Structure 1
Amino acid sequence: MQEKGEVALLTVKLKSGETISLAEKYSRNQLEAMRKKEEFYCRSCSEKMILKIGTQRIPHFAHEKGSECTEYDRESEYHMSGKIKLFEWLEIQGLSPEMECYYPPIKQRADIAFTYEEKTYCIEFQCSTISAEVFRRRTEGYRKLLLHPIWILGGKNINRKQTHKLSLTNFHYLFLKETANREVYLPAYCPQTNQFIRLENLISLSTRMAYASILCKPLEKLTVQDLIEPTLTLSPSL
C-alpha cells in the first residue's frame, strides 16, 4: 500500500547504471526475483529506493523513509495507471517512448517522452491541481531544451453540469491549446474508461461556467497526429 505523501515512481536506475521501467510488464515472479537481487536508485537524487509489490496497487518504487528528494510529485493510482496506458498506446503506435524521462539541466522529468517526425515531445499527464506559476515554469523548462510539452488533463477533473455545460476553473484554462488554424481545444484522458476527451468550441458563460462540444474517443482509436495536431469539428454541437 502506498503510504500517505509517498512519492511513487515507475522508473529507476540499477546499481549498474541501467534504467528499468515497470511499464515494461514484468510478472509478479519477475518483480519478486528482481527485488531480491537488485538495488534501485532514484534517477534524480540517486537515493536508494524500495520496490513495492502489493495486491491493491500498481507495483511501484518509493523512496526510503526520511528521503529529502523533492524532484517528484506525489502520484495517485489514477495518475500511474494513466501513464502506463499512454505509454503502451505510444508503443502500439510504433514509437519508442521513455517513461519518466529526467532532464538534469532543468531538474524536471516528463511523465513520458517520445520522438515523432524528428521532434521530441514530453507528456505531462496532470491529475492534481497545480498553480499557473508551476505550469509555466515546467513548460518553459522543456522549451529551453527545445522539447515540445503536451499537457493532458486528468479526465476526472472535468466537472460536467449538463450535456455541454461545464464548470471550469483557472486551472482548466491552463490546458487550452491552439491548432495551426488557431482553433482552441482542451485535451484530457481518463484511464478508468480509457477514453481520450477533447473539449472543443468552448464558449465562456462566466468565470466558472462554459459550453463546449465534448468528444470522447477510445484511446486505441487515437493516432499520434490526433494528439499533436487534431482536426477539430467545424461547429459546436450544442
Structure 2
Amino acid sequence: MTSLTIPRRFNGPPTSGNGGYVGGLLAERLGESSVEVTLRAPPPLDAALAVRAREGGGLSLFDGERLLAEARATALALELPPVPSLEYAAAAGAIGRMRAHGRGGDPYRRCFGCGIDREDGLVIVPSPVGDEGVVATDWTPQSTLAEPDGTLSAPIAWAALDCPAGFAWSHRLPDDAQMVTGRITARIDVPLRAGERYVVLGWPIARDGRKLHAGTAIVDAEGVVRARSLQLWLLLQA
C-alpha cells in the first residue's frame, strides 16, 4: 500500500479534488496507456489517501476505509466528431470565458480545470461550435504546468480532458442543473507540451436518465489527436 495527497490547488468542487486530476494520478500509478477510473466519493484535499492494489488488477483509492475511486487498465476506441479549426475554437473559447465571467454564484469558478477565477489553473471554458453539439476552445498550457522536459504529466492532461464533457451537456440542460464526473476512461496518445496550442473539444454521446455520456479530446495544430476520453457524468437531483 502506498499513499498520495491531492494538493488544494487541484480542486474541482471547492472542497474536493478535480475528477480528471485524481484519475490521472491513479493512471500514472497504474502505468498503463489507457485507463478507466470510476469515482465513488469526493476525494478530500491535502489529506494522505491510501492507494491499494485491487484483486484481479488495478488500484483503489481510500480515505481511511471509505472507497474514493477505482482504476483499471482497459482499451479505449473513440471516434471524434469533426474537429473545428484553431481559429474557430479560439472564438468559441472567448465566448465561453465571457459567459463564465458573467455567471455569479457558480461553484466551479475556482475549479482547477475550468475555473474562470484561477490564474494558476487550466481555464478551459469551451462553448458550442456548429450544430452537432460539439463544444470547443483553444488552449495553450502554461510553462508552470509542465515537467522539467516541457511535457505535461498524466494528472494535468486528464484534468484538461475532464471539464469539457460537462460543458458538452450543460448547454442542453437547465441553467441550475448540477452534475459531477462519475467515470473517465482516457488515453494519452502523444504527450502534451507546454507552450503548444491545442483545440480542446467535448461532445455529448447519449443520455440514460441521470447518466450523461460524453467524449472529449485534445488535438494539436497539425490535426493529431494527442489525448481522448470517454466519460460518464451524473446529473444531481435537486
Shorter-chain TM-score tier: under 0.3
When normalised by structure 1's length, the TM-score is 0.25
Structure with the bigger RCO (C-alpha within 8 Å, sep 6+) is 2
**TM-score (structure 2 length as normaliser):** 0.25
